[in-house]
Amino acid sequence: MDYALLVEIWSQLLWPLTRILIFVAIGLVIASLIESLKWTDHMAALARPLIRLGNLSTITGASFTMAFVSGVSANTMLAEALDKGRLEKKEMILANLFNSLPRYFLHLPTVFFLTVPLIKGAAVIYVAITFTASLLQTMTVVAASRILLPRPESAAVLKPKQSKKPTLSEALARSLRRLKKRMKKIVLFMVPVYILFFLFTRLGIFDQLEEIFASAWFLSWLPPQSLGIVILHVTAEFSAGLAAASALMADDSLGVRGVVLALLAGNILAAPIRAVRHQLPYYIGIFPPKLAMELVVVSQAVRALCVIAVGFLYYHFSMSIQ
């Protein structure tokens, strides 16, 4: 077999799949430990004002707090609660959307310190817009939850009879038993899906989709010079788009406004494809396949709408001050 093909299979299939399975396993153990040791109420206290305002449960609050540390653990916590009937599907979907702000903060240092050296002042505006969009999504979810979810009963009514708290070793043993049972199902679904998406990548299906998106008619409102940023953002990666933006700003071919709008357009267009490519296989390992697809579609749609809404305001505001 060709050595280059072996390297590609290892770097793009076997190692990423192994890494995801490891992180999912760790997430399952952490989520199970938190539940077994009855820490969910303490963790939810950090997000209590928003939880109370949105009629959300303590499980959602605990997941929100955990998402600042590990998105995998936050999602496995929700999946475990759904499996046990402690969380309804409606709240599960809302909880996944609610965790957008913690997920944003997980990536914020990387995005900020990657953008500032290359596009300087435009980086601050870009980060501010994406942060505002994430905040808007969180507040929208809280408002929707308040309307869609019934008001929870009082803590006194819901509080169960106190049982003996397990020791750490007992909780860990229980978590490992549950992990063994759950991982069989995860591997059964995740591995075939990941292999299928690897084959799609090899056949160039994602590349064709990215090119279609990058050259779409609805980008005609952007300055012609900025289309290269969008195309690189979508077809290559974020850093490639930033490098193009930096070069265009250096020779005064494009101003701050054009760079920010191009990066936002690339952000919106690239995210769904990368979500299907990377997020969906890992979601299928945690949630039932149908629910995993729903979560990815809904989260990407809501995220895109929030970025578009904030970007639209910036577009008109920046035009008014030119």
**What is the tens place of the pLDDT at every residue in 63-81?**
888 888 778 888 988 998 8
pLDDT in the model for residue 322: 63
Query: What residue spans define the domains of the chain?
Result: 3-152+166-320
If you search the block for the tokens 């969180």, which residue do you land on? 138
Of the pLDDT bands very low, low, confident and very high (cuts 50, 70, 90), residue 141 is very high
In the predicted model, is pLDDT for residue 284 greater than 50? Answer: yes
Tell me the pLDDT of the chain averaged across its residues: 80
User: Is-contact 78 95, C-beta < 8 A?
Assistant: yes
Nearest alpha-carbon partner for 182 in 28, 72, 289? 28
pLDDT in the model for residue 276: 82
Buried b vs exposed e over 263-279: b needs ≥16 C-beta within 10 Å?
bbbbbbbbbbbbbbbeb
Which of 17-31, 47-61, 66-80 has the least mean pLDDT? 17-31
Q: Which residue type does 146 have?
A: R
Using alpha carbons only, give the angle 151, 58, 48 rounded to the nearest 5 degrees. Answer: 80
In the predicted model, is pLDDT for residue 208 greater than 90? Answer: no
If you search the block for the tokens 């700003």, which residue do you land on? 249
Which of 76-90, 179-193, 305-319 has the least mean pLDDT? 179-193
Contacts of 177 (CB under 8 A, 6+ apart): none
In this prediction, residues 285-314 reach a mean pLDDT of: 92
What is the number of alpha carbons within 13 Å of residue 216 lying toward its C-beta? 15
Q: What share of the chain in percent tops pLDDT 90? A: 22
Of the pLDDT bands very low, low, confident and very high (cuts 50, 70, 90), residue 38 is low
Nearest alpha-carbon partner for 142 in 183, 100, 175? 100
pLDDT in the model for residue 158: 38
In this prediction, residues 112-133 reach a mean pLDDT of: 88
In the predicted model, is pLDDT for residue 206 greater than 70? Answer: no
- Pick the more confident residue, 26 or 160: 26
The answer to whether the pTM exceeds 0.75 is no
In the predicted model, is pLDDT for residue 159 greater than 50? Answer: no
- Pick the more confident residue, 99 or 157: 99
In the predicted model, is pLDDT for residue 126 greater than 90? Answer: yes
- Pick the more confident residue, 196 or 235: 196
The pLDDT tens digits for 81-118 are 898 888 999 999 999 999 988 888 877 877 887 788 88
In this prediction, residues 161-171 reach a mean pLDDT of: 64
In the predicted model, is pLDDT for residue 231 greater than 70? Answer: yes
Of the pLDDT bands very low, low, confident and very high (cuts 50, 70, 90), residue 213 is low
- Pick the more confident residue, 179 or 159: 179
User: Measured between alpha carbons, how far is 133 from 128 in angstroms, rounded to an integer?
Assistant: 9
User: Measured between alpha carbons, how far is 173 from 203 in angstroms, rounded to an integer?
Assistant: 44
In this prediction, residues 255-272 reach a mean pLDDT of: 87
pLDDT in the model for residue 216: 59
